[in-house]
Structure 1
Amino acid sequence: MKHLLSLFVALSSVPALAQRVPLVTPAEKAASASIEPNVLRAHVRFLAHDLLEGRGPGTRGDALGQAYIAAQFEALGLEPAGADGTYFQPFELVSVTGHPQTLSVRAPSGVEELKFHEDFIAVSGVQEAESRLDASELVFVGYGIQAPEYAWDDFKGMDLRGKTLLILNNDPEDDPNLFAGRTRLWYGRWDYKYEQAAKVGAAGAIILHTTASAGYPWQVVQSSWTGEQFELPAASGPRLQVKAWMTEAATRRVVQMAGADLETLIASARSRDFRPVPLGVTVATRFANEVRRRPTANVLAMLPGSDAKWGGEVVLYSAHHDHLGRKEGGKPGEDVIYNGALDNAAGVSGMLAVAKAFRALPQPPRRSILFAAVAAEEQGLLGSQYLAEHPPVPPGRVAANINIDGANIHGRTRDITVIGLGKSNLDGVITALAKTQGRVVKADQLSDRGFFYRSDQFNFARRGIPAAYFGSGMDFVGRPEGWGRQRRETWEAQHYHQPSDELRPEWDWSGAVEDVRLFFLLGAHVARDPELPRWNKGDEFEAARLAALEALKAPRTPPSSEGASK
């Protein structure tokens, strides 16, 4: 009875809270009207222009993009939130350009030289002049996962020091009660797998690529993992010599050289009883690296909150400003610039439009708003990692992160996708806001791709900050069923991380306008809600949030009644 009474009291307080904190104020609704197609299009037109040469990290185009964003922040009257009274948070990247040619596979049956780019892609795992594997034994380690909460350990204590690990992409998905079924978790991401391989002392790691398991075709690996690669300066800890991907066809040949069957190995990896399988073959490669230091920067601006006591807390908007730069080895007359119009000039444009809407309010919101255009996302979420490690305010004072990566450029939808739906109590506000637009919220409609762990909100979530991240809806107004998914799949197959990601006159910005208006209204609501957003109980990031709040070591002071929403 006591528990039932507590539940009744909690539920009965919801209407009162909703009345005290309206979903949308008249001022916010009016300000959201400033978000228009021409505003979004204009920023993309500049940031994705050929003159910026793809905004590769540490390039002149990267610096031009940063300068443009800072100028827009200044024009809006936002305060600098970077270093030394500027809008810039500079940091250094280590650039490593490797030159692998072949991967030699030696078995009792013979030797095969796998071809770089066609059969495999490899990058250096060390920030040194040379990377090498010297007759390193190849061991199949299934999914390469250690997850105590699922009683899962693919390594089983085997000594893997100096070995090269062959690893499946994704995580086991047959059991809906194990690893969230088809929803990809952090355990299914390539960066997790390389990290785990290094922890067990491996010399190299090779991930088996399939379009289904990666969520993108081999050409994306070729474009994203060749040429200059970037990292933050190496901290102490274990490092792989070589990080690689291999095509399914090449992997099948290698496994056959070992006298094994790939399908049988994959099937065995789906069980908790799986044990690593030494394949009886060795791999070898050696290649020189060009190692350089390159400067880049996050671009940060603040709209100070209007409440004297709440102003120290912030709502963080983020969008990455970088892309892939120029394509190496282009043929004469070939387009070699990765313009990154949708990914992610469009996201930066959306964030700038949100900033404009906040400035259109008659007074700033009660909490402060921090805008962060972060660098080097395409190189492994490096700018957001640096920002999360060097935040202008403690993580416990960041109410929420709203990350914008991409845009809907195909028209209005009846739905909007919330990637990570079910992880935090932001879901309720998002659902209510979507309803005011006549739309419904849907969970990630491509949940097997692991999108929550593939953009900048992940680094903030790891520090405990509740994060909202969105994908375009797929139920398009005036279009037949399945049209939206088909457009999405066509884009990924033909334009994702390709030079063809350019601003096009046929793009329909009406859906992007509705989405960006929702992003603005969500942040505005969080900026005046007395309750801080929270991860749902038991979520993977809940403990980090509780630790961040505890680290503040001082109780939050309730806001004054002055400056309430009007």
Structure 2
Amino acid sequence: MKHLVPLLLALCAVPALAQRTPLVTPAEKAASAVIVPDVLRAHVRFLAHDLLEGRGPGTRGDALAQAYIAAQFEALGLKPAGTDGSYFQQFDLVGITSHPKGLTFRAPQGTVELKFHEDFIAVSGVQAPEAKLEDSELVFVGYGIQAPEYEWDDFKGMDLRGKTLLILNNDPEDDPKLFAGRTRLWYGRWDYKYEQAAKVGAAGAIIIHTTPSAGYPWQVVQTSWTGEQFELPATEGPRTQVKAWTTEAATRRVLELAGRDLDALRAAAQQRDFQPVPLGVKVSARFTSEVRRRPTANVLAMLPGSDPKLSQQVVLYSAHHDHLGMKQGGKPGEDTIYNGALDNAAGVAAMLSVAKAFRELPQPPRRTILFAAVAAEEQGLLGSQYLAEHPPVPAGRVAANINIDGANIHGRTKDLTVIGLGKSSLDATITGLAKTQGRVVKADQLSDRGFFYRSDQFNFAKQGIPAAYFGSGMDFVGRPEGWGKQQREAWEAKHYHQPSDELRPEWDLTGAVEDVRLFFLLGANVARAPEMPRWNKGDEFEAARLESLEALKGGASK
């Protein structure tokens, strides 16, 4: 009996603990009611209006979007959290407009000339008026991955300095024990591949596009990688001269010149013992570029926490305010404005609605809430990168990031997609909140797309901050099985990164409201919980979190 007493006391304590830390408080539930379709729609209507000309970074439309968001924060009584007592965290972007003169492949057997836009898309890899490849040796390097934890190295120590690398998109997926099978990891992302090419000293890097491996059609590469491209100002470190994409058909023509078969090379690249393949082909290209600096800003606002100690910690909401600007060289009468209604005026509208809900609470939550409308996401997550590198508080004090990119525009769902389910302790809270809405949580239903590494939460996760990121559910109320997936695929094919991403009368935001209320309740729960969320043991970002927490201890001891 004496052994049962501690157990009985522990069991009795569980309900008491749950009572002290409820999933949702009555005040939070009441506050969530201010999140309604009409308010979401109104914010989207302004931010996606033609007058903002697509919110391209560094443009008048970009500045108008920032001013609108700052005005909304001010109207809600949120405190400025930018520089010099303002709502704006200003920084410069380097805009590079590249003019490729062609991409030429030569071998003893002949020459292949690829056509810009039709066969290849390329941008300068350097912030300079000229970039070039001069008879650079072409080497096929499989997926271009170095992953010690998987005992994987596609470079095998080969000297690749000055060479041009031909790289498969995505990561190997034949073996479920390697690279999470069909779930795309950071290793499968184009930005990782370009970074690796630079690290090994390559002069150029060419990624082979296929719709299955990229998760989007060639037209997305055409729209996203043409016109002015933006970067943060260059720092010390290696850079390639040229970053390019080629279509599968164009790549096959180049490989035929080398006497090689793409399918055979792709099959060889699935194995650990793959060796880089010099192709006996020389690559030449010459770019001229206009290079200029353009100002932009993240828009930051803060609701200070009410707890004397926990208010030093922060729950960070983020949503990017930029889009692609205006299409160059449009035909008369053609729609040339990339309005970005769903991507991501809708996400900013959601974040503003969450901020309004927090202001409805009778008193602020224990932890501080930071709202960040970040810039230049479409250009490579640049605004969130700048914020992560120049945070208002140390990363170890940021309890969690809740990132909002897009919205459900098709109605209510029975499910909720959590991108990165299984990575952190946030899962349990999200699952419980979804249950209160009569919904179930599902893992990323398009895990081969690598969505966790394609939006702003990735930059915060790299700093060790536990992050929550969501996709729309797929099981729609009153719709047949498979309808949600059909809508998703149709939207991606017709509207993703196209001028047709506009606010439409048929948008049904009832499902978006449920999602956004959950985002608010999740942040409110994290803001009052006794402990901060954590990455699950062994997660790829756990080490960064432990390091950021240790840095706080070091700072306290000084």
TM-score bucket (shorter structure): over 0.9
Distance between the aligned counterparts of 1:276 and 1:13, measured in 2?
Answer: 60
Matches of 2:11 and 2:71 in 1, distance apart?
47
What residue identity is the alignment partner of 1:294?
Answer: R
What does residue 86 of structure 1 align with? Answer: 86
CA distance in 1, matches of 2:45, 2:391: 30
Which stretches of structure 1, 4 residues or longer, exceed 3 Å deviation after superposition? Answer: 6-17
**Offset of residue 11 of structure 1:** 9.2
Provide the rounded CA distance (Å) in 1 between the counterparts of 2:228 and 2:7.
56
SS at match of 1:65: helix
Letter matched to residue 281 of structure 2: V
Does 2:133 match 1:128? Answer: no
What is the alpha-carbon distance in structure 1 between the residues aligned to residue 43 and residue 249 of structure 2? 42
Closer/same/farther in 2, CA of residues 307 and 163 from structure 1, 3 Å limit: same
**What residue in structure 1 maps to residue 67 of structure 2?**
67
Structure 1 partner of 2:208: 208
In structure 2, the CA distance between the partners of 1:9 and 1:163, relative to structure 1 (3 Å rule), is: farther
Q: Does 1:165 align with 2:165?
A: yes
1:18 deviates by 2.3
> What pairs with 1:128-147 in structure 2 (closer than 5 Å)?
128-147=128-147
What pairs with 1:249-398 in structure 2 (closer than 5 Å)? Answer: 249-398=249-398
Q: Which runs of 5+ in 1 are unaligned?
A: 1-5, 557-566
1:543 maps onto 2:546 in alignment = no
2:117 aligns with 117
Task: State the Cα deviation string for residues 494-538 of structure 1 (Å, max 9, x = none).
Answer: 100000000000000000000000000000000000011000000
In structure 1, C-alpha distance between the alignment counterparts of 2:210 and 2:92, rounded to whole Å: 34
SS of the equivalent of 1:92 reads strand
Partners of 1:9 and 1:522 in 2: CA distance? 30
* Further displaced range: 13-22 or 478-487: 13-22
SS at match of 1:162: coil
Deviation track 1:254-277 (CA, whole Å, cap 9, x = no partner) reads 001100111000000000000000
Shift of 1:178: 0.6
Shift in Å, 1:7: 12
Q: Give the corresponding residue for 2:3.
A: none
* Alpha-carbon distance change, 120 to 10 in structure 1, aligned in 2, over 3 angstroms: farther
CA distance in 2, matches of 1:363, 1:335: 47
Residue 22 in 1 paired to residue 22 in 2? yes
Asked if residue 517 in structure 1 is aligned to residue 521 in structure 2, the reply is no
- Once structures 1 and 2 are overlaid, which stretch shifts more, 15-24 or 314-323? 15-24
Q: Secondary structure at the match of 2:519?
A: helix
Cα-to-partner distance string for 1:43-88 (whole Å, 9 max, x where unaligned): 0000000000000000000000000000000000000000111000
- Counterpart of 1:99 in 2: which secondary structure? strand
What SS does structure 2 have at the residue aligned with 1:208?
Answer: strand
Q: Is the 8 A contact 1:101 1:115 kept in 2?
A: no
Question: In structure 2, what residue type is equivalent to 1:481?
Answer: E
Question: Given residue 230 of structure 2, which amino acid in structure 1 is its aligned partner?
Answer: F
Q: SS of the counterpart of 2:311?
A: coil
Q: Does 1:457 align with 2:457?
A: yes
- Alignment deviations for residues 456-484 of structure 1 (CA, whole Å, 9 cap, x no partner): 00000000000000000000000000000
Alignment of 1:92-107 (within 5 A): 92-107=92-107
Q: After TM superposition, give the deviation of residue 355 of structure 1 in Å.
A: 0.1
The 1:443–1:57 alpha-carbon spacing in structure 2 relative to 1, beyond 3 Å, is: same
**Partner residue in 2 for 1:412:** 412
State the distance in 2 between where 1:256 and 1:492 align.
Answer: 32
In 2, are the aligned partners of 1:62 and 1:322 still within 8 Å (CA)? yes
The residue number in structure 2 matching 1:245 is 245
Residue 77 of structure 2 aligns with an amino acid whose one-letter code is: G
Counterpart Cα distance in 1 of 2:12 and 2:169: 46
Distance 2:526 2:496 in 1: 33
What is the distance in 2 between the residues matched to 1:373 and 1:21?
A: 30
Question: Which residue of the partner structure matches residue 497 of structure 1?
Answer: 497
Go from structure 1 to structure 2 and tell me whether the alpha carbon gap of 1:211 and 1:8 turns closer, same or farther (over 3 Å shift): farther
The whole-number CA distance in structure 2 between the counterparts of 1:7 and 1:554 is: 38
Q: Say whether residues 1:54 and 2:15 are aligned partners.
A: no
CA distance in 2, matches of 1:525, 1:401: 13
Identical aligned residues as a percent: 83
Per the TM alignment, residue 555 of structure 1 is displaced from its structure 2 partner at its CA by 10
In 2, Cα distance between the equivalents of 1:319 and 1:501?
17
Structure 2: state its 5+ residue gaps: 1-5
Identify the residue that residue 189 of structure 2 maps to in structure 1.
189
Match of 1:175 in 2: 175
Q: Partners in 2 of 1:13 and 1:458 — Cα distance? A: 38
1:39 aligns with 2:39: yes
CA distance in 2, matches of 1:137, 1:340: 40
- Structure 1 residue 308: Cα displacement: 1.1
Offset of residue 10 of structure 1? 9.4
Structure 1 residue 553: Cα displacement: 1.3
CA distance in 1, matches of 2:483, 2:540: 34
Seen in structure 2, the aligned counterparts of structure 1 residues 7 and 153 have a Cα distance that, compared at 3 Å, is farther
Cα 1:72–1:260 shift into 2, 3 Å: same
CA positional deviation for 1:8: 12
Q: 1:428 corresponds to which letter in structure 2? A: A
Q: 2-side partners of 1:22 and 1:162: how far apart?
A: 60
Distance 1:10-1:344 versus aligned 2 partners, 3 A rule: farther
Letter in 2 for 1:332: P
Distance 2:257 2:10 in 1: 64
| Aligned mates of 1:10, 1:542 — CA distance in 2 | 30
Pairwise CA RMSD: 1.5
Contact 2:112/2:253, CA 8 A, preserved across alignment:
no
Q: Distance in 1 between matches of 2:251 and 2:446?
A: 26
What is the DSSP-based 3-state SS (H/G/I as helix, E as strand, rest coil) of the residue aligned with 1:490? helix
SS at match of 1:23: coil
Provide TM-score, normalisation by structure 1: 0.96
Measured after TM superposition, the shift of residue 102 of structure 1 is: 1.4
Matched position secondary structure for 1:549:
helix
Q: Distance in 2 between matches of 1:377 and 1:446?
A: 21
Supply the distance in 2 between the matched residues of 1:16 and 1:257 (Cα, whole angstroms). Answer: 73
Q: Is the 8 A contact 1:95 1:229 kept in 2?
A: yes
CA contact (8 A) 1:94 1:293 kept: yes
Equivalent position amino acid for 1:473 in 2: G
1:108 Cα deviation from its structure 2 partner: 1.3
**Could you tell me how far apart the structure 2 residues matched to 1:42 and 1:543 are?**
42
Identify the residue that residue 435 of structure 1 maps to in structure 2: 435
Structure 2 distance, partners of 1:96, 1:181, is 36
Contact in 1 for aligned 2:66/2:299 (Cα 8 Å): yes
Aligned AA (2:315): V
Aligned equivalents of 1:555, 1:483: Cα separation in 2:
53
The SS at the match of 2:528 is coil
Return the alpha-carbon distance in structure 1 between the equivalents of residues 293 and 489 of structure 2: 37
Give deviations 1:249-297, integer Å, cap 9, x for gaps.
Answer: 0000000110011100000000000000001111111010100000000
